[in-house]
Amino acid sequence: MNATTHTNPGAKADDFRLGAVIITMGNRPAELNALIESVQRQQGPAVELAVVGNGAPLPPLPAGVRTAELPENLGIPGGRNVGIELFGPDGRDVDAVLFLDDDGSLPNLDSARLLREAFTADPGLGIVSFRIADPDTGVTARRHVPRLRAADPLRSSRVTTFLGGASAVRSTVFEQAGQLPADFFYAHEETDLAWRALDAGWSIDYRADIVLHHPTTSPARHASYFHNVARNRVWLARRNLPAPLLPLYLCTWLLLTLARRPSGEALKAWWGGFREGWRTPCGARRPMRWRTVWRLTRLGRPPVI
């Protein structure tokens, strides 16, 4: 299916409807309210809001916010999928869904306007990844630039993946490529969706001028980080890569992991996740086409790294 078949090339930017999904575990009420206020201050038509309590009750929220309180924590992709459905099946009540971390905020008033203009101007644009900047220092960490050449975070470009908590996805992408892989819980769920979107013909842009303020933290602070990273890396490859690329991709990441010299405890968790990735179901296998492999390669990130 062509990525442009569900777009209206004559549409005006202000007619492009945006909805924002925020998942929270209820432990950051002040930050959550600050984020909601930053969304509500955006120029142009109002951005619809959906907040998901991911295994936690929600604090008081402004009127008009769509909500869901889940009895258990479904993880980041599972919680965001619930948020998507708050905007109708595959988010069809809006034209694009923003994913925003609950401890972030939009410092600029024109972010929603820039998104509307970007999606309207380019009917093949499926996903926009924002620049994440520390609110105190303004620094963007290299790992928050979704490309291999990450030295200049102020340079916008076409990319092959996106930042889950600072992004916008056209709703038609969910219809054509599916939603986020809920079983991943967290780690690599964005790349899984990105690869499927690229295979369906969509493009992904990193926009340095659309900024989310977010405190600089390390993902390794989570106890299950190394386990999930390894398990989901295997699942990602099993689900999406042509068979000849599977060993190349996973061997490359094995060598990179060893080169980074993780602690003994971290390496043990990583090996456990790597084995689990092979032993457990990974979901439906839909290997990307070879022309998508070539497209990823031309964008600077062949799917072997």
- What is the SS3 string spanning 184-251? HCCCCHHHHHHHHHHHCCCEEEEEEEEEEECCCCCHHHCCCHHHHHHHHHHHHHHHHCCCCHHHHHHH
Q: Is 9's pLDDT higher than 60?
A: no
User: To the nearest whole number, what is the mean pLDDT of the chain?
Assistant: 94
Give domain 13-217's CATH architecture. Answer: Alpha-Beta Complex (3.90)
Quick one: pLDDT at residue 221? 53
Mean pLDDT of 193-205: 98
Mean pLDDT of 17-28: 96
pLDDT digits (tens, 9 = 90+) for 163-184: 999 999 999 999 999 999 999 9
Q: How far apart are CA 134 and CA 272, in angstroms?
A: 33
Q: What does the domain layout of the chain look like in residue ranges?
A: 13-217, 223-284
Output the pTM of the full model: 0.94
Q: Which residues, 6 or more positions from 152, have their beta carbon under 8 angstroms from its beta carbon?
A: none
Mean pLDDT of 52-78: 96
Q: Is 46's pLDDT higher than 70?
A: yes
Q: Tokens 């909805």 appear where?
A: 19
% of the chain residues with pLDDT over 70: 94
Quick one: pLDDT at residue 222? 54
| 183: DSSP letter | G
290-298 and 189-199 helices cross at what angle (nearest 10)?
Answer: 110
Quick one: pLDDT at residue 260? 87
Coil, strand, or helix at residue 127?
A: strand
Q: Rounded to the nearest 5 degrees, what angle is found at the Cα of 217, between the Cα atoms of 215 and 220?
A: 160
Q: Does residue 136 or residue 6 have the better pLDDT?
A: 136
264-279 and 225-240 helices cross at what angle (nearest 10)?
Answer: 30
